[in-house]
Structure 1
Amino acid sequence: MAGSGRRQRVAVAGASGLIGSHVVELATAAGHEVVPLSRNHGVDLTRPQGLSDRLSGVDAIIDVTRPATMDEGAATDFFTTVAVNLGRAARQAGVPRTVVLSIVGIEQGQDFPWYRVTLAHERAVREHAPGVRVLRATQFHEFPGQVLQRSGDGDTARIMDMPTQPVASAEVAAVLLEMATADEGGDRQIAGPSPEQLVDLVTRWCELRGDDVQVLPVPATPQVGAGSALPGPDVERRGPDWWTWAQASGRP
């Protein structure tokens, strides 16, 4: 789905994060005016003051916010608060549409806390924001490195044994921008081209970087271990496979 072709004013909530920074770069290169919304840009989305003024004249909001914590309760509170504040401010400012990032297979993975958190975010945005369009994506190519960073303990890392089909974060950002700047459209789903095992990806990432880390598989939750994170046959596939991306990105 292509954008409308006209220059638009796009607000990016979470502009300094992994996906948000890609969106800002792509939108700027395409000639759009970007309104960044993040703490790094002096905006605290958990506080409503001044948000509607910042959204004046905005054509679309792209919500790729992420909390600083993985704790389920605190993360859910963050997402709900941000969704309410952004949604109310958007309506006050007359913003016609909101695009929010979510996860492929989210309803089927509700035995995993982060999927419960993200579904709560998606539902809160649908309830409070104007003109909602949801992009559900599989895990990003950066996911194995992120998991390793969180799970490493000296020279060992305990990694959840789960299937995944990671997608390039730049592709996710491109689709978000397409959805935000298109006059018409609905929800979409995207995935990378190839199914993988997370344990294998973390092991290969360590080898590629020369990290002397023993990767130890641990059981995933039943739904995630059974493949709830994998895309269905009708989900759009985009971008390079994980190994192609890793060879270009992973060497020190």
Structure 2
Amino acid sequence: MTDGQRLAVAGATGLVGSQVVELAQAAGHEVVPLSRATGVDLTVPGSVGGRLEGVDAVIDTTRSPAMDQAGAVDFFTRVAANLGAAAHAAGVRRTVVLSIVGVDRSQDYPWYVATLAHERATREHAPGPRVLRATQFHEFPGQVLDRGRHGDTAEVMQMPTQPVASREVARLLVELATDRTDGDVEVAGPRREDLVDLVRQLVELRGERVRIEPVPASPSMTAGSVLPGPNALVRGVDWETWARATAASGRL
């Protein structure tokens, strides 16, 4: 494959998808955004229409709006089937889907059951499927804090993590969609951390008064199932460097 390709980005307005769009355009690629904001509901057969005509690769960064296992599995499998059918019909050669490191080892956690279902459905339905598994993003501690917060306390899972900058993940998705290599890839940040410690640091950087209550994660995650393997790519800065820079910019 060569530069100046036509790329479709599913989930183009999300955390990673929006950065994929920006980075792909900056690299000289033409981007076809696929999201509800652009009139595409990927859970509905035929919603893509003719948007994939002339597209070289599809990058799937979709995220289920449902957090429960059944709802998320349903969302991901329908999206993969509909997107795959449209891609095959348009002659698309490659599909890169974003997943999570350790999903196959973490099937005692409902969200990871759904994420693995997304991988499998993409492999079944999409042309030229390729999976990028990433560790948790640097934004993850903030998401955990928001979801677990009840007044002045917040419950946070006690688990190891090796977080990576979401922008590096977006950059790698573009690389995998446009290069000449094949095969799945893992990516992680440079430093192993403890999630509870990261959330406590985040609260301090924000100047908030929140008491963090550690709670057990699933057995597999407690044992380190979401940590990267020895062959994972290491990209970007560590969490603290990212967090301090983000706080200085007023965006933390």
Please say whether Structure 1 and Structure 2 have the same fold, judged by a TM-score greater than 0.5: yes
- Residue 21 of structure 1 aligns to a residue in which SS? helix
- Relative to structure 2, which stretch is displaced further, 192-201 or 51-60? 51-60
Equivalent residue in structure 1 for 2:40, among 40, 43, 52: 43
Aligned to 2:59: 62
Of 80, 84, 102, 1:83 maps to: 80
How is 1:159-170 mapped onto 2 (pairs within 5 angstroms)?
Answer: 159-170=156-167
Partner of residue 102, structure 1: 99
> Residues 78-157 of structure 1: matches in 2 within 5 Å?
78-157=75-154
Take 2:192 and 2:230, find their aligned partners in 1: how far apart are those partners? 12
In structure 2, give the amino acid aligned to 1:59: D
Matched, 1:224 2:221: yes
Structure 2's unaligned 5+ residue stretches are: none
Which 4+ stretches in 1 moved above 3 angstroms? none
Q: Tell me what 1:21 maps to.
A: 18
Match of 2:238 in 1: 241
Query: CA offsets, 1:111-169, max 9 Å, x none?
Result: 11111110000000000000001101100000000011111001000000000000000
Contact 2:132 / 2:186 at 8 angstroms: preserved in 1? yes
Q: Give the alignment's Cα RMSD to 1 decimal.
A: 1.0
Instruction: Determine if contact 2:148/2:156 at 8 Å carries over to the other structure.
Output: yes
Q: What secondary structure, in the 3-state scheme, does the structure 2 residue paired with 1:53 have?
A: coil
Q: Between Structure 1 and Structure 2, how many residues are aligned?
A: 249
Question: Does structure 2 retain, via aligned residues, the 8 Å contact 1:205–1:250?
Answer: no
Q: Deviations over 1:44-95 (max 9, x none)?
A: 1111224240100000000000011211111110001000000001000100
| Structure 1 Cα separation of the partners of residues 19 and 170 of structure 2 | 6
Distance 2:247 2:117 in 1: 33
Q: Does 1:8 align with 2:5?
A: yes
Distance 2:202 2:126 in 1: 39
Matching residue of 2:177: 180
Cα distance in 2 between the residues matched to 1:149 and 1:46? 27
Displacement, 1:6? 2.0
Identity %: 64
**What TM-score, normalized by structure 1, do the two folds share?**
0.97
Q: Is contact 1:52-1:90 (8 Å) kept? A: no
Shift of the 219–50 alpha-carbon distance from structure 1 to 2, 3 Å rule, reads: closer
Unaligned 5+ runs, structure 1: none
Shift of 1:183: 2.9
Normalised by the length of structure 2, the TM-score is: 0.97
* CA distance, structure 2, for counterparts of residue 17 and residue 107 of structure 1: 24
Corresponding residue number in structure 2 for 1:200: 197
**CA apart distance, 1:249:** 1.1
AA at the equivalent of 1:22: Q
1:179-231 Cα shifts (integer Å, max 9, x gaps)? 00113321111000000000000000000001110001001111100100111
Q: How much has 1:178 moved relative to structure 2?
A: 0.3
Q: Which amino acid aligns with 2:140?
A: F
Residues in 2 aligned to 1:75 and 1:186: alpha-carbon distance in whole angstroms: 26
The 1-side partners of 2:29 and 2:158 are apart by 41
